[in-house]
Amino acid sequence: MSEHVDASARTDVGSVRAVNEDSFLARAPLFLVADGMGGHARGDKASHEAIRVFDERIPAGTVPTPDEVLDGVAAANKGVRGLSQAEDSGIAVAGTTLTGVVLVRTAEGEQRHWMVVNVGDSRVYNWDGRTLTQLSVDHSAVQELVDAGAISPDEVAAHPERNVITRALGADASVEVDVWLLPATGKQTFLVCSDGLCKEVTDEEIARILSDHREVGHEGEPVSDALVNAALAAGGRDNVTVIVVESQMGDAGGDHDATVDRSAGTSELLEDTRPRS
């Protein structure tokens, strides 16, 4: 089976912050974003450490198993914890989100899968050419309030706990990670981003930008630049990192509409596999 994966990626410190605490890795089979946090510039070091661990453990061009990815998450958690001192607590503890998609093999000779990985409130979206769907579930205080019916989604942006996350690498000796598998088939597009994008730009505007840049490698402004620039234009109050992954598995023939019409099957799979709070 033919396999082709392309990606567009960019990170920016934003218009307010002095340090970029985001890090990313955008090369097959790994497309990951880490958004660091912690006092004394440790957020910067934490996100870099998480990405460094994966870059070393899973070389470019290989296809890991899901267990190897999970081992990478555990190793990254251990590495980030090593940045904190024994007396550190609260915001002084180094921590980072870790979110993205990884091309994996589930068994020898079987179809490739995209493994979605999430710890924290960075996000993975699926873009089918018409509809933008959030695949990951935010590990945040406000998401728990929304799930409990205590606040509405419209109240999230102004809530005083909107920046509080409930899971992060580095917080505990072991980390609970949301993972699930999507068959890698046909044409698929994923957006991986830190919250510096989705807190500034609505899903509707993100979808419009993706629609205007139907191909990652199209001539003109890269799609990742367009998304980051939209976040900066909206205020850029946080670091912003974007990866857009486009894969083609199997026969590249057929028109775009035929590919899009297969999205119903994806939706059914997500209904069975999406992590629940």
Cα 272 from chain centroid? 20
Strand-pair partners of 183: 113
**C-alpha to C-alpha distance for 8 and 26, rounded to whole angstroms:** 8
Q: Is the pTM of this model over 0.75?
A: yes
Q: What is the pLDDT of residue 259?
A: 36
Q: What is the pLDDT of residue 265?
A: 38
Closest CA to 23 of 76, 64, 60, 66: 76
Q: What is the pLDDT of residue 89?
A: 58
End-to-end CA distance of the chain: 36
Closest CA to 180 of 245, 275, 246: 275
**C-alpha to C-alpha distance for 275 and 51, rounded to whole angstroms:** 23
Q: Where do the domains of the chain lie, and which CATH numbers do they carry?
A: 3-271 (3.60.40.10)
Q: What is the pLDDT of residue 110?
A: 76
- Parallel, antiparallel, or unpaired for β 123-127 and 30-37? unpaired
Q: pLDDT 10s digit of each residue in the chain, 277 long? A: 678 999 999 999 999 999 999 999 999 999 999 999 865 458 899 999 999 999 999 999 999 999 999 999 999 999 999 998 655 656 567 899 999 999 999 886 678 999 999 999 999 999 999 999 999 999 876 665 666 666 667 656 666 666 678 899 998 999 999 999 999 999 999 999 999 999 999 999 999 999 998 766 566 789 999 999 999 999 999 999 999 999 999 865 444 443 333 333 333 344 444 443 3
Percentages (nearest 5) of helix, strand, coil residues in the chain: 30, 30, 40
Cα 263 from chain centroid? 20
How many of the other CB atoms lie within 10 Å of CB of 34? 32
